[in-house]
Amino acid sequence: MRLVPHPFLTLALLLMWILLTGFSPGHVLLGGLVAILTSRAMLSLKPEPARVRFGLPMLRLAVIVSADIIRSNIAVARIVLFRPRERKSGFIHLPTELRSPYALAVLAIIVTATPGSLWVQHDARRHIILIHVLDLIDEEEWVRQLKHRYERLLMEIFE
Amino acid sequence: MIQAPDLPLWATILVSLLLVAGALVTLVGTLGLLRLKNFYDRVHAPTLGPTLGALLILAGSTICFSVLQSRPVVHEILIGLFVTLTTPVTLILLARAAIYRDRSEGILPVPPDVVSRTAETRVDGDG
């Protein structure tokens, strides 16, 4: 058995410990110990190994998502405050090409963290995602936007 | 600001504006809970708080403590990251519970479970 089964997780935990407590030899030692021990807990969960490509697509996704979150915040605030009469909410079906559970998890977080759209269900057999949209004008347009903005980049990062 | 007497005036003004703006965004989100009419619409509104509301408040906190130089600003980044990552989990669970209820009771018009659908009319919108 290896001493550090999930090196990235261990490193991330150590980094977080140092960031929260401040840099000193004692904390590096203590944090390292905690990181190694806690990351071993993942062993019993046996997660599927993830293939993640770091690089430009990740950065672009982060920028796009941040911009979209701010924009849809304003859109939802407008709906709540002014209650436009013609607004119609509804469900859309997004056929997806994503298969990696990690990519799907990231997409679920993006869709739900963005005000105005909510991930409701993922049909793993037919690869269709059910999403509720607060301001639904055109289902096709929503599907195209989601595919174009997020799915393409997630494919590059995870698949 | 009695809590931070060393904060210069410009920073005080900026931090206060960010805090009030963040609080207002969060308030609008909670107002949505009252104003929107059905469950699925309501779930959208509270996301304003953990996203833009939190961002503005954390930006205020970052400026405040960077100017005072009492500690590095990474705390806010970590808070933002964890709030953004964990809120959707709760919301998705709530939505799942709601759609399960609505499907079995049939009060609100919700799309049926895709697996049990016989006609595949809307599936081929692949772009």
Cβ partners under 8 Å of residue A79, min gap 6: A87, A134, A135, B32
Q: Which residue of A has its CA nearest to B97?
A: A120
pLDDT at A153: 93
pLDDT at B15: 92
> Are B121 and B69 in contact, with CB atoms under 8 Å apart?
no
Cβ partners under 8 Å of residue A159, min gap 6: A98, A99, A100, A103
CA B32 – CA A84 distance, rounded (Å): 13
Burial of A103 (0-12, 13-18, 19+ CB in 10 A): buried
| A155 interfaces chain B, CB cutoff of 8 Å | no
Q: Could B115 and A134 be called an inter-chain contact, meaning their C-beta atoms sit closer than 8 Å?
A: no
Q: What is the 3-state secondary structure (H, E, C) of B7-64?
A: CCHHHHHHHHHHHHHHHHHHHHHHHHHHHCCCHHHHHHHHHHHHHHHHHHHHHHHHHH
Q: Is A92 in a helix, a strand, or coil?
A: strand
The H-assigned helical ranges of A54-149 are 56-82, 101-113, 139-146
Min Cα separation B4/chain A (Å): 21
CA-nearest of A57, A46, A68 to A159 is A57
Min Cα separation B10/chain A (Å): 25
| Per-residue model confidence as pLDDT tens digits over A29-70 | 999 999 988 888 888 888 887 788 888 999 999 999 999 999
* Higher-scoring residue by pLDDT: B4, A123: A123
Q: Could B48 and A89 be called an inter-chain contact, meaning their C-beta atoms sit closer than 8 Å?
A: no
pTM of the model: 0.83
Which portions of chain B are predicted below pLDDT 50? 1, 116-127
pLDDT at A137: 86
CA B102 – CA B97 distance, rounded (Å): 9
pLDDT at A83: 85
Average pLDDT over residues A65-88: 90
pLDDT at B70: 65
